[in-house]
Structure 1
Amino acid sequence: MSEYTGTVTVGGPADVRELPALTLTKVAVGPFDNNAYLLRCKHTGKQLLVDAANEPETLLNLAGGQLDAVLTTHQHADHWQALEQVVEATGATTYAGVLDADDVPVPTQVRVDDGDVIRIGDIELTAIHLVGHTPGSIALLYRDPGDPDGHPHLLTGDCLFPGGVGNTRKDPERFASLYEGVVTKLFDRLPDDTWVYPGHGKDTTLGAERPHLPEWRQRGW
């Protein structure tokens, strides 16, 4: 299997990352170049999909038609276009941030708050609530127990990308909130080798982005 890069394109193949206890598969779907991530526990085979963004057939094929849970990172419509079809086909349990759940049109069965732990098989994901892109955006932190180096893995939705935080619509208060949350809850707590899986586009690491934090603050986006 080729080395994982995190570079995927709409209509192209998925990229697969094999971690000691978890298989992470990334795929891009149209029309807004959204990333969806399938997390499979190697021990139990249970699966969690992060953002059923669109193209339900693509996502269901990726999961082999079997899903235990779907987590929607935030309320924006480009992140849940396939949610209803995916849930109907699999009976997966739905998760979303407590402050965004009411704006996701498929009923949320589990409302997630800051610090909550989501368990799928032997996999544990810690929810990190970030305010600014939306009121209830949720990032997910995973530490693979079988990785001797303990490298963290962070799924950030639309809150952190290569080159900056998510869109806050040029609202200074929203930007300040998101920037502060990203700095204090992500950069201040996690090491440079933390791998970042965003809601659109290429992956990055906290180390690659850390030197640019003052620039982001100064420009205000």
Structure 2
Amino acid sequence: MTYSGEVRPGGEPAVRELDRLTISKLSVGPMDNNAYLLTCRATGEQVLIDAANEAPRLLELIGDRDLAAVVTTHQHMDHWVALEEVVAKTGARALVHADDAAGLPIEAETLTEGDTVRVGDCALEVIHLRGHTPGSVALLYRDPAGVPHLFTGDSLFPGGVGNTDKDPERFAALIDDVEHKLFDRLPDETWFYPGHGKDSTLGAERPALPQWRARGW
């Protein structure tokens, strides 16, 4: 089945098979958060992006393969409700950017710009995006056999950047980071996976960047 990126709370995961990595996208309630399980096809090692909620469903998705780490994209509660239970039951490392570490319910190892998170033989680059929260991150997988894949948390969605509570300084920081660290560096075919809702590509969103900046949100 062709991957569409469309999921719904309580529904089945959407699964995308890349050459070296499998991406499983699951929607959990009550806020329709996306959780992403990445599995190295060579080693079976896994990393979960955002243990948002519904720990039993996440644990069922993880199954009996090793979960190396849970990366929390930012400190907002709807992205870590299941974190403590998932870590306790799998022994996975908890990872978060240093600037958001104090907002998590458990101690976590800290990340910074340019760090690498390993998923077996695959690597994710940590990209720090200020504004939605101080320590929000995106995770970039450069597929050697295809297009880049980018997990953006709540910093970038189809149609705009994440919420900055109408704070002009926070918005300026976020739109600058998104434009310069993502759109200026990565090609149009880059597929991105947000913290809620549908996926998109950078190419589909790029023409609207001036409009986003002008409207201020």
TM range (shorter): over 0.9
Q: In structure 2, how many angstroms separate the alpha carbons of the residues matched to 1:205 and 1:127?
A: 19
Kindly report which structure 2 residues correspond to 1:163-178, keeping only aligned pairs within 5 A, or say none.
163-178=159-174
**Deviation string, structure 1 residues 132-155 (Cα, Å, up to 9, x no partner):** 00000010000122x1xx410000
Which residue does 2:79 correspond to in 1?
79
Which residue does 2:143 correspond to in 1?
144
Structure 1 stretches of 4+ moved >4 Å? none
Displacement of 1:65 in angstroms is: 4.3
Aligned residues: 216
Displacement of 1:103 in angstroms is: 1.1
Which residue does 1:185 correspond to in 2?
181
Which residue does 2:115 correspond to in 1?
116
Kindly report which structure 2 residues correspond to 1:1-221, keeping only aligned pairs within 5 A, or say none.
2-66=1-65, 67-108=67-108, 110-145=109-144, 147=145, 150-221=146-217
Displacement of 1:120 in angstroms is: 2.1
Which residues of structure 2 form unaligned runs of 5+? none
Q: In structure 1, how many angstroms separate the alpha carbons of the residues matched to 2:19 and 2:3?
A: 14
Q: In structure 1, how many angstroms separate the alpha carbons of the residues matched to 2:59 and 2:87?
A: 10
Which residues of structure 1 form unaligned runs of 5+? none
Q: Which amino acid aligns with 2:57?
A: T
**Deviation string, structure 1 residues 59-91 (Cα, Å, up to 9, x no partner):** 000010441110000000000000011011100
**Deviation string, structure 1 residues 142-172 (Cα, Å, up to 9, x no partner):** 0122x1xx41000000000000000000000
Percent identity between the two aligned chains:
63
Three-state SS of the structure 2 residue aligned to 1:54 is: coil
Q: Which amino acid aligns with 1:188?
A: D
Q: Is the 8 A contact 1:21 1:41 kept in 2?
A: yes
Q: In structure 2, how many angstroms separate the alpha carbons of the residues matched to 1:174 and 1:65?
A: 41
Q: Is the 8 A contact 1:43 1:121 kept in 2?
A: yes
**Deviation string, structure 1 residues 185-212 (Cα, Å, up to 9, x no partner):** 0000000000010000000000000000
Three-state SS of the structure 2 residue aligned to 1:68 is: strand
What is the TM-score normalised by the length of structure 2? 0.98
Three-state SS of the structure 1 residue aligned to 2:118 is: strand
What is the TM-score normalised by the length of structure 1? 0.96
Q: In structure 1, how many angstroms separate the alpha carbons of the residues matched to 2:49 and 2:21?
A: 14
